[in-house]
Structure 1
Amino acid sequence: MTSNPIDHITDIIDPGDALGEVLFGLIMALTFTVGARLVVNEEGLDTQELIAATIGCNLAWGIIDAVLFVLGTTFYKSRRLRLFRQIKAAGSETAALEMLAKEFPIEEAPFSAKAGDADALYRSLLTLACRADPVKASLSKGDLLAAIAVFALVSATSIPAVIPFFFIDNAHLALRTSNLFLIMLLFVTGYAWAKLSGGRPFYAGMTMTGLGLVLVSIAIALGG
């Protein structure tokens, strides 16, 4: 059985994070195309400039998001290493258990755990931490591949935004088609999000579409 590109991406990066990057890229692309439509009557539409700006913006934000992902991953690993060292240096078992409970709160889990079960979990984690040895908090090959995936997802969302301009001679019609493609992809993103999380796909798709358009409106209103 052959796997598709989506399976490869979700093997590298969390599906929720991947869809979040797609949503971000779509909003960036829509900010340019919808914004262009608002000023087209006053200044005219330079399609070449719009294509370059849309692709350039998403490429730039793809790079920025990838760098932020690397920084966030490094911070997360360093924080975990710091916690490990603090547990090792804790003056008592009670203090170590309090650190673990603060770092991994059961209250945030999607289930109701009994106090005794929670205590058993923290004691198991404490035993593991006390017996284990620290490792260097360095980036792995998987982390770098995930950063590349982040860049690719944000950058790729500019493609459906510019494709209509290569096949439709009428610039105004191409712009409307571009906006329609991106809005449809907002719906698809929300639909896929619900399918992965066990939500209501159609409702999530409509919600994501509405939310995306609201965020685009805010970006345009603020000069983004």
Structure 2
Amino acid sequence: METSRTHIADVIDPGDALGEVLFGLIMALTFTVGSRLIFTEEGLDVRELIVATIGCNVAWGIIDAVLFVLGTVFYKSRRVRLFRQIKAAKSEQEAISALRKEFPIDDEPLVSTAADEEVLYQAMLGLARRGSPAKLRLSRDDFLAAFIVFLLVSATSLPAVIPFFMIGNADLALRTSNFLLIALLFLTGCAWARFSDAKPLNAGITMTCLGLVLVGIAIALGG
């Protein structure tokens, strides 16, 4: 199990994965909270809510997976373009400027001296000049990462609909569904803290509040 988790973390960045989970939870919560608002006026069509929630998340899971693949192609083609720029540079300074633009460290959480930066870019330039551009192609892991994106967004609809299969009272099931989704927003924030320099409680509360604000905006705009 630990090996599988490690391989998944190697295939897709944890921040990207958690971002997809957050997106899926917000999508599902928008449906359930929106249904709650009209429940007292028109009554709740449980079957329609289940189909709409699952269908929307699956559809966006497919869209996000396709966009992930396109983003990967863009990233790899940009690296090939950078390599060609370095090869075609008329001077060493021009080549290093291209590297600095593509790999800036000024905004990174790293304090370094100008001399150290120069050594770093000189080493990168040496590697780039000795290498040759690889063919632009998608790997098995790229498609696996896209599939994981699809699964993450799609699977977040399940906590929203499971209560309706287990609880006969539609009102109670809807409340339970909303509670589960909000709890998962908090847990997503806590998980985010694991991969960043943040406190789990603060990250969990921030993620929950952010998610609820975005749900409110989506509902207000008719989403």
Return 5+ residue gaps in structure 1 as ranges. Answer: none
Deviation at 1:10, TM superposition (A): 2.1
Deviation per CA, 1:49-96, whole angstroms, max 9, x where unpaired? 000000000000000000000000000000010000010001111110
2:211 aligns to what? Answer: 212
1:79 aligns with 2:64: no
Task: Give 3-state SS (helix, strand or coil) of 1:91's partner.
Answer: coil
2:121 aligns to what? Answer: 122
2:38 aligns to what? Answer: 39
> Whole-Å Cα distance in 2 between the matches of residues 69 and 89 of structure 1?
30
RMSD of aligned Cα (Å): 1.1
1:150 aligns to what? Answer: 149
1:98 aligns with 2:93: no
Task: Give 3-state SS (helix, strand or coil) of 1:190's partner.
Answer: helix
1:188 aligns to what? Answer: 187
Return 5+ residue gaps in structure 2 as ranges. Answer: none
Deviation at 1:8, TM superposition (A): 4.7
Letter in 1 for 2:180: F
Deviation at 1:135, TM superposition (A): 1.0
Letter in 1 for 2:178: N
Change beyond 3 A, Cα 1:4–1:59: farther
Deviation at 1:158, TM superposition (A): 0.3
1:14 aligns to what? Answer: 13
Q: How does 1:58-73 map to 2 (within 5 A)?
A: 58-73=57-72
> Whole-Å Cα distance in 2 between the matches of residues 187 and 5 of structure 1?
24
Change beyond 3 A, Cα 1:16–1:93: same
Letter in 1 for 2:25: L
Off by >6 Å, runs of 4+ in structure 1: none
Deviation per CA, 1:94-121, whole angstroms, max 9, x where unpaired? 1101111111112022111110110111
2:47 aligns to what? Answer: 48
**TM-score of the superposed pair, with normalisation by structure 1:** 0.97
8 Å contact from structure 1 (residues 160, 181) kept in 2? yes
> Whole-Å Cα distance in 2 between the matches of residues 38 and 5 of structure 1?
41
